[in-house]
Structure 1
Amino acid sequence: MLNREEVHNALERVANSGLVDTPVDDLVMVALAVWHEGFVPDEVWAKRLDSMSQLVVGYVVKFLSRFNVLCAEEYEKLQQFSAKLKPSTPPQVKPDEYRDDLATAWGLEHDLTPYFKHISHYQTRHYVHESNYKRPSPNFVL
């Protein structure tokens, strides 16, 4: 099982990168923790980040929660977490056909699209992840 502190540190490095030259190993660690170990970032930890990093964390969590490798309970916890980080009026950024609409909605100029090839094979239920984590239910989000 991944260490929560290490995952928080990795997520903070992802956030600090602004999704530009993001450390791939850190993003992979975060994706594995979210998708296969029930990781939900700590709200107090997230609120200590600067406002732009909070936007990145909220977006990354929301993005990762959209995959059907999660059960309904995991999905709901991630949605609740990301909702707490999204400001009522996010920064306005010009839409870009190459940027994920979700990133634009969060007021971000960069997204996870360039990194998806590094994490996509981990989001399938066929990926075997060694962990003691037990999912709250077998009800996967479809």
Structure 2
Amino acid sequence: MSSGPTPVSFKVRTQSRVMEVAFDDGAMVSIPFELLRVYSPSAEVRGHGPGQETLQTGKRDVGIVGVEPVGNYGIKPIFSDEHSSGIFTWEYLYQLGRDQDAMWETYLQKLETAGFTRDSGRDPGAVVSSDKGNGHACGHNH
């Protein structure tokens, strides 16, 4: 299983804000930048264990300003909010593309549970503070 899906083409579409990857098994995935950002595999987003994830808010307008290759197994996107520590393996991108409907649903439910919407955090005045986040999720100290 070590030889996972291999990309045959890869495009970052800045206008439509999607990353398109075609794989050697015929799969073609188109992943919105926002989904990539909120599901970044970095420790900053995921934490260091189950239940330590940091809910990402206000990422609807996030862009990708660059992409660095990581060996031949993945990429490291540089997002417009300066987040650049997530290494996305080809396998993870494949999974994101395949499962994105369910992952969107999970993300939207988490936002709703926390009292946010996809637009929360876009306007600094609309940030809802919670005892769990202590203002870290949006980067502002209120």
* Bin of the TM-score, shorter chain as denominator length: under 0.3
* Structure (1 or 2) with the larger CA radius of gyration: 2
- Larger RCO (CA under 8 A, 6+ residues apart): 1
Structure richer in strand, relative to its length: 2
TM-score scaled by length of structure 1 = 0.27
TM superposition score normalised by structure 2: 0.27
